[in-house]
């Protein structure tokens, strides 16, 4: 009697249809059928049935079939429920990626449910794709760990290449993170993770979302460590390749890009391998940079970062833009995006996602130990290694002055604002402005806070191109309640090229007491001075009211208070 099939659920729905890929597979099969029947199909007629962007790849496949260099499945054997490949009967499609389709299938001999991964027929025409597909079977076959999906069988049938693997009933971490929603809407509790995953066991373990996620990813790090010890590097660690069993334990899947130390011919040669958002900086260079086990450490750190903050560290309008950011930028501070993140969690992320691979964890087992420390609310080795406040400050200063995009937000807050929020470096494409908010705020664009420095600065004490301070301000345009220093300064006490205030000094100074190249006030001193009491090389016998009437072309009644005849100089 066959093993019962698992039911469909919200956590394992049929994937959205990929109509173009299915259409391409069908065209390849139809072309192969016509050739087998002794007919001469016109390639152009087939190419006209697909979008222009898909034509080069389809044309290459058709030429290979026509030349007898490859064979394709027939149109009558395209994948569908009920089709049998080897001893496996297809039930329903449960996932798909760029290279393969994953079907829930019934093993008719051993009478068990398996996940059958089938290489796309179009890709199977080229040996490089088949080699990469088989490499996954070889990589998994040599690994024995509870956190790594187990492979049962490998084979091919009627042009289809397949792997039969352990079926994991639970959702992927990617599906769980999607269900969690944005970080701002979270309570940051383990119960949220359990609800999003549909696995109650995840809530019973820890108190916070950070601890629950650390407990979830700890066995993933241990599984990667086991693979690395066998000389296998995954190179495509991402949330969709981390599946959850019904008991809440995580399993690593999809070793299709894995590279074995004993197989140097399979190193990167220019192909884009891996998912861009989770690539390490050395992977993002695509060629010429050594890639070792520490690339998996970086990618797992990105998974933890996204799970905690709700966003990926680097985004872009296209793949090349994402690559450029990974290579040249520092990720935004996780603490700035999620203030509830602990110091130990932030230190773990900084070490796992260090740009230079030698500054990351030496191995994945060390990362697993720090995940365990987070779970137990103990200091992480990453935070201990960072040292005290002075050492951390020096490291932050080095990052700040590196010339790369940098952001720091202190963990401590006062009245809801961080004590320090600093942003530096070039602005990423697509970002109109960066705003730093804190008691000490510094940004190349906009800074708001107690002491604020930026192109535009607003706060108590400010410095910037446009500076508005309640007490003091310095800038090209400085506006302050008490004092202002700038090209254009306006305050009770102001100093600038053009200064306006009760007491002002500047190239052109307007105020009750004024000193400058041109000074206008009750008391005026300057190269040209206009006022009641004047010290000037060039004296003009004009009252302030007369001066402003001449300049503005109108009467200024309020200035006549300063024009009492008995107060003027003889």
Beta bridge partners of 418: 413
DSSP state of 491: S
Within 10 Å of residue 404's Cβ, how many Cβ atoms?
Answer: 14
192 near 209, Cβ under 8 Å?
A: yes
Q: Which helix or strand (DSSP H or E) is residue 444 part of? A: strand 435-480
Structural tokens at position 168: 């994991």
95 near 15, Cβ under 8 Å?
A: yes
Structural tokens at position 377: 């609310």
For 93-106, the DSSP string reads EEEE-SSEEEEEEE
Q: How far is 149 from 35, CA to CA, in rounded Å?
A: 40
Nearest to 258 by CA among 273, 277, 243, 280: 273
487 near 506, Cβ under 8 Å?
A: no
Structural tokens at position 518: 């041109």
Estimate to the nearest angstrom the gap between the alpha carbon of 194 and the chain centroid: 24
Catalytic residue positions?
A: 236
Question: Burial level of 246, CB count in 10 A (0-12/13-18/19+)?
Answer: middle
Beta bridge partners of 563: none
For 164-225, the DSSP string reads EEPPP-S-BHHHHHHHH--GGG---BHHHHHHHHT-GGGTTT-SBHHHHHHHHHHHHHHHHH
184 near 315, Cβ under 8 Å?
A: no
387 CB-side CA count, 13 A: 8
């Amino acid at each position: 009697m066959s093993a019962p099939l698992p039911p469909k659920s919200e956590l394992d729905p049929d994937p959205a249809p990929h109509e173009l890929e299915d259409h391409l597979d069908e065209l390849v099969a139809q072309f192969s059928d016509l050739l087998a029947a002794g007919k001469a199909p016109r390639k152009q007629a087939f190419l006209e049935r697909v979008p222009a962007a898909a034509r080069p790849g389809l044309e290459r496949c058709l030429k290979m079939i026509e030349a007898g260099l490859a064979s394709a499945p027939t149109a009558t054997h395209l994948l569908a429920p009920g089709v049998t490949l080897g001893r496996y009967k297809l039930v329903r499609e449960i996932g798909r990626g760029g290279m393969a389709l994953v079907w829930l299938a019934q093993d008719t001999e051993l009478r068990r449910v398996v996940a059958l991964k089938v290489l796309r027929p179009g890709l199977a025409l080229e040996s490089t794709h088949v080699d990469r597909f088989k490499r996954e079977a070889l990589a998994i076959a040599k690994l024995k760990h509870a956190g790594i999906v187990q492979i049962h069988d490998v084979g091919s049938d009627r042009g289809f290449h397949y792997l039969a693997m352990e079926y994991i009933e639970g959702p992927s971490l990617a599906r769980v993170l999607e269900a969690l929603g944005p970080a701002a809407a979270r309570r940051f509790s383990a119960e949220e993770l359990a609800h999003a995953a549909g696995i109650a066991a995840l809530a019973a373990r820890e108190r916070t979302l950070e601890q629950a996620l650390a407990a979830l990813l700890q066995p993933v790090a241990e599984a990667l460590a086991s693979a690395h010890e066998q000389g296998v590097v995954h190179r495509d660690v991402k949330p969709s390749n981390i599946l959850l069993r019904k008991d809440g334990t995580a399993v690593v899947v999809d070793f299709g890009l894995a590279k074995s130390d004993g197989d140097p011919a399979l190193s990167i040669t220019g192909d884009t391998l891996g998912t861009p958002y989770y690539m390490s900086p050395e992977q993002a260079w695509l060629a010429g940079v050594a890639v070792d086990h520490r690339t998996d450490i970086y990618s797992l750190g990105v998974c933890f970062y996204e799970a905690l903050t709700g966003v990926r560290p680097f985004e872009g309008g296209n793949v090349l833009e994402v690559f450029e950011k990974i290579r040249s930028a520092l990720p935004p501070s996780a603490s700035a995006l999620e203030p509830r993140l602990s110091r130990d969690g932030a230190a773990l992320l900084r070490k796992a996602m260090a740009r230079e691979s030698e500054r990351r964890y030496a191995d994945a087992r060390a990362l697993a130990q720090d995940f365990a420390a987070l779970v137990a609310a103990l200091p992480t080795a990453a935070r201990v290694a960072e040292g005290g406040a002075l050492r951390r400050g020096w490291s932050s200063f080095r990052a700040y002055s590196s010339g790369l995009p940098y952001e720091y937000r202190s963990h401590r807050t006062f009245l809801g604002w961080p004590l320090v929020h600093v942003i530096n470096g070039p602005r990423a494409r697509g970002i109109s402005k960066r705003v730093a908010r804190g008691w000490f705020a510094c940004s190349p664009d906009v800074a708001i806070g107690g002491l604020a420095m930026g192109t535009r600065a607003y706060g108590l004490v400010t410095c910037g191109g446009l500076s508005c301070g309640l007490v003091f301000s310095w800038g090209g345009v400085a506006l302050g309640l008490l004092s202002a220093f700038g090209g254009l300064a306006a305050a009770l006490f102001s100093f600038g090229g053009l200064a306006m205030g009760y007491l002002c000094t500047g190239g052109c100074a307007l105020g009750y007491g004024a000193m400058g190249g041109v000074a206008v006030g009750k008391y005026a001193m300057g190269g040209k001075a206009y006022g009641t009491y004047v010290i000037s090389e060039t004296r003009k016998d004009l009252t302030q009211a007369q001066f402003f009437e001449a300049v503005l072309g109108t009467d200024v009644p309020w200035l006549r208070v300063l024009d009492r005849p008995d107060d003027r100089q003889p």
